[in-house]
Amino acid sequence: MTLVSVIIATYNEDQYLKKCLESLACQKKARFEIIVVDDGSFKKAKNLELKSKNGTFRFFRIKHSGTAVARNFGAKKAKGDILVFVDGDMEFEPDFLEQLIEPIEQGLAKGTISTEEYVANWNNVWARCWNFEQGLKTRKRIDEKDMMLRDFRAILKSEFDRVGGFSNTGYTDTWSLSEKLGYKPVKTKAKYYHYNPASMQEVFWQALWIGGRQRKFGIVGKIVAGLRATMPVSIFLGLVKAITYKEMGMLNFKIIYDLGILSGIMSGASRKAV
């Protein structure tokens, strides 16, 4: 049976990591290992003991270098034929791994993505507004009709190694794999839950990271994005979205979010700040 390596690149996610690991420990998939790579968190992630009849657990800590570097590090340590990339603020249904890798094991795909990603903290107004900002009207974090889906959640290690893994481009580093491979992941229905930013501070710092990403049109792209994030535009769009989604907190959210985007553009913050 195929060995699967689950790689978790985490950064200041102590409050979520334990539940993430516990949900992975309950997976139905028979053979897997879990590799946690702490990307230089301010508070050192505890070397959690994980007991699972199905998997093994290894923990590494590296200097803060960005998600792509942490994931590539984990991939080098992996022993499995299939790599699965997840975040420390995710939780999974018991058949998540089984569903995610099935097309790969059957030879129908070299890599997969799941469209069944849901917001874990939907009762939080900031978390809801985060989805609304992305144009998502419900608790789902992914629009399965989106033809641009290119974030590999699982991939053959041989394919990953062939192109040298992820490029360290910041927030959009997960897209780099698809660009280098020349194909997109196959969609699956593996169900899992992902925490959205849940406070004003979390929204700002996440937006800062997004704003600092590399852009397709370079300086022109940055100027256009910066203009979209100016205060008059933020207030106007915030009001429009507050009415559209019937969520008045959207106005405050939009101002904070765009302030983070603008700060990221100006500072070039390509790595998570908190």
pLDDT digits (tens, 9 = 90+) for 41-86: 876 655 555 555 556 889 999 998 889 999 999 999 999 999 999 9
Model confidence at 33: pLDDT above 60:
yes
Average of pLDDT values for 176-190?
A: 93
Split at pLDDT 50, 70, 90, the class of 144 is: confident
Note the pLDDT of residue 171: 67
Amino acid identity, residue 150? R
In the chain, ranges of CATH 3.90.550.10 domains:
4-194
Among 25-39, 163-177, 231-245, the range of highest mean pLDDT: 231-245
Mean predicted confidence (pLDDT) in 257-270: 84
Instruction: Please give the share of the chain, as a percent, with pLDDT higher than 70.
Output: 88
| For helices 249-267 and 125-133, angle between their N-to-C axes, nearest 10 degrees | 60
Q: Enter the tokens of residue 204.
A: 């700002």
- Would you say 197 and 128 are in contact if contact means Cβ atoms under 8 Å apart? no
pLDDT of residue 145: 78
pTM: 0.90
Is 105 exposed, middle or buried, given 0-12, 13-18 or 19+ CB atoms closer than 10 A? middle
125-136: pLDDT as tens digits: 999 999 999 999
Q: Which residue has the higher pLDDT, 223 or 221?
A: 223
**Domain 4-194 has what CATH class?**
alpha beta
Do residues 77 and 180 lie in contact, with contact meaning Cβ atoms separated by under 8 Å?
A: no
Residue scoring higher pLDDT (267 or 76)? 76
Task: Say yes or no to pLDDT of 268 above 90.
Answer: no
**Mean pLDDT of the chain, nearest integer:** 89
Q: What is the pLDDT of residue 269?
A: 56
Minimum mean pLDDT range among 11-15, 36-40, 41-45, 87-91: 41-45
CB-neighbour burial class of residue 213 (10 A; exposed 0-12, middle 13-18, buried 19+): buried
* Spatial CB neighbours of 29, under 8 Å, sequence gap ≥ 6: 4, 54, 97, 98, 101
